[in-house]
Amino acid sequence: MSKYYAGKRRDGIAKVFKGDDSEPHIQEELDPARSLFFRNHSPTGFEFGYGGSGPAQTALAILLDFSDDAEWAMEHYQEFKGDVVSRMPRAEDWTLTWMEIFMWIQHREEAKKHFAAKWDGARAQLVEEK
């Protein structure tokens, strides 16, 4: 059983969902309200694929949900934004597994290379296709 987060853009609005491979047809939308309580970066909601306030809100929301530890999430979300959320593709759906988050926590340098290969390569390919 593998838990994950998924990002999707619908009608121009970025959404983040959480799910579990054991029930792939069920995804719960991640609510930004909890993260907004701790830090209001983006009252308009989530974003990803660059290093701004919307991605900061996304990073905080994911780490709060993942860890259920507000103090830890507040301490690490900006670095998580820079290493992970800012690299996510802006225009296409993405998936981030719990194992990838564990990898980021335990081995940040290796994780940075993983996310660079996973998402930066796809971004470069999109630019080449245009």
What does the domain layout of the chain look like in residue ranges? 3-129
Does residue 115 sit in helix, strand or coil? helix
- Cα–Cα distances (Å) from 33 to 45, 58, 70, in that order, read 9, 11, 13
Q: Computed over its alpha carbons, how large is the radius of gyration of the chain?
A: 14
Confidence at residue 1, expressed as pLDDT on a 0 to 100 scale? 52
Confidence at residue 126, expressed as pLDDT on a 0 to 100 scale? 44
pLDDT above 90 for 5: yes
Mean pLDDT, residues 95-118 taken together: 83
Q: Which distant-in-sequence residues (6+ apart) come within 8 Å of 77 by Cβ?
A: 39, 56, 59, 60, 63
Other C-beta atoms within 10 Å of 67: how many? Answer: 14
Q: What is the pTM of this model?
A: 0.84
| pLDDT-wise least confident of 6-20, 29-43, 50-64, 99-113 | 99-113
| pLDDT-wise least confident of 34-43, 47-56, 62-71, 107-116 | 107-116
Mean pLDDT, residues 37-65 taken together: 94
Does residue 9 sit in helix, strand or coil? strand
Mean pLDDT, residues 64-82 taken together: 94
